[in-house]
């Protein structure tokens, strides 16, 4: 069953509540996988005094999901540990990623909109929409979503992969970048590829999109064909970049990421895939 988003008052009150606990951006789980994510009543009782905020996330399978921010001095009960969401991706399904991603995204938005950005007054919650409302000037603050393009550039039977300066491991991926004011998505694709590796692309075509809650992005995936130019790596951004064939691929990104799905689609011989 898909996740139901919206205001909590729009859903049946009798729905069972499921809590996700987050401390300093890390999610409580019993292991380093998502298989044991949800704590029982004894853990709830231990963490209850440390809850500083609880937000509605959505509903799934008749259950009302909320995310609880707990204070930094919150103990890790028993064998439960607070783990960064990236460390849990290996065992997640796509639905779990979307649900937990929304939870982390909303908490970050809540933390960064405590006060009105126009006049500095403390914000209140809107009763009519998922927003913060300034009681002084009336300015509404909605959860921010930052669009970014991510692009698989192909040249015949080769794909362009690069290793960025922010990768701590030798991981090679497709190129990505945030959309700037006044740009179309296609303009952003052309600019980012040229800025980062010095080549021109053509035949830009949409692939898929993915919420990416690190902290608030929406990744919009494309395929594009090589047009001209030689690889020239951008200082401070790209450490290595080259063309690779499907039978000689370097270490790639994590399975659930749209970057990996773009690469897998190339390896499988096309630029479309079945969403799972």
The pLDDT tens digits of the residues spanning 139-155 come to 999 999 999 999 999 99
CA distance 80 to 78: 6
Q: Residues for the chain: how many in total?
A: 276
Helix/strand/coil for 248:
coil
Give the global pTM.
0.86
What pLDDT is attached to residue 270?
66
What is the distance between the alpha carbons of residues 65 and 184, in angstroms, rounded to a whole number?
A: 35
Mean pLDDT, the chain, whole residue set: 87
pLDDT of residue 93: 79
For residues 214 and 96, the model is more confident at 214
Higher confidence at residue 237 or residue 41? 237
Cα 2-97-113 angle, rounded to 5 deg = 95
Buried b (16+ CB within 10 A) or exposed e, 164-184: beeeeeeebbbbbbebeeebe
Beta-carbon count within 10 A of 114 CB = 10
CB of 46 closer than 8 Å to CB of 70: no
Q: Which two tokens stand for residue 43?
A: 């853990």
């Amino acid at each position: 069953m898909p996740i139901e988003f919206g205001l909590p008052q729009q859903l049946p009150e009798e729905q069972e509540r499921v809590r996700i606990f987050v401390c300093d951006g890390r999610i409580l789980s019993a292991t380093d996988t998502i298989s044991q994510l949800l704590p029982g009543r004894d853990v709830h009782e231990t963490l209850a005094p440390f809850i500083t905020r609880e937000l509605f996330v959505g509903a799934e399978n008749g259950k009302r999901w909320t995310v609880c921010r707990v204070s930094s001095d919150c103990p890790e009960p028993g064998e439960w540990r607070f783990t960064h969401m990236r460390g849990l991706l290996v065992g997640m399904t796509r639905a779990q990623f979307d649900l937990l991603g929304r939870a982390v995204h909303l908490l970050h938005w809540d933390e960064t909109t405590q006060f009105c950005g126009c006049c500095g007054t403390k914000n209140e919650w809107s009763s009519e929409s998922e927003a913060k409302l300034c009681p002084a000037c009336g300015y509404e603050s909605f959860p921010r979503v930052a669009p970014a393009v991510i692009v698989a550039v192909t040249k015949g039977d080769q794909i362009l992969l690069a290793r960025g300066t922010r990768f701590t491991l030798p991981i090679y991926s497709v190129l990505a970048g945030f959309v700037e004011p006044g740009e179309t998505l296609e303009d952003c694709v052309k600019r980012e590829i040229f800025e980062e590796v010095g080549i021109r692309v053509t035949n830009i075509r949409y692939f898929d999109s993915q919420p990416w809650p690190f902290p608030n992005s929406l990744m919009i995936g494309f395929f594009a064909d090589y047009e001209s130019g030689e690889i020239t790596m951008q200082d401070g951004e790209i450490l290595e970049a080259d063309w690779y064939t499907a039978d000689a691929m370097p270490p790639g990104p994590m399975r659930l990421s749209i970057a990996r799905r773009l690469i897998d689609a190339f390896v499988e011989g096309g630029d479309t895939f079945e969403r799972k």
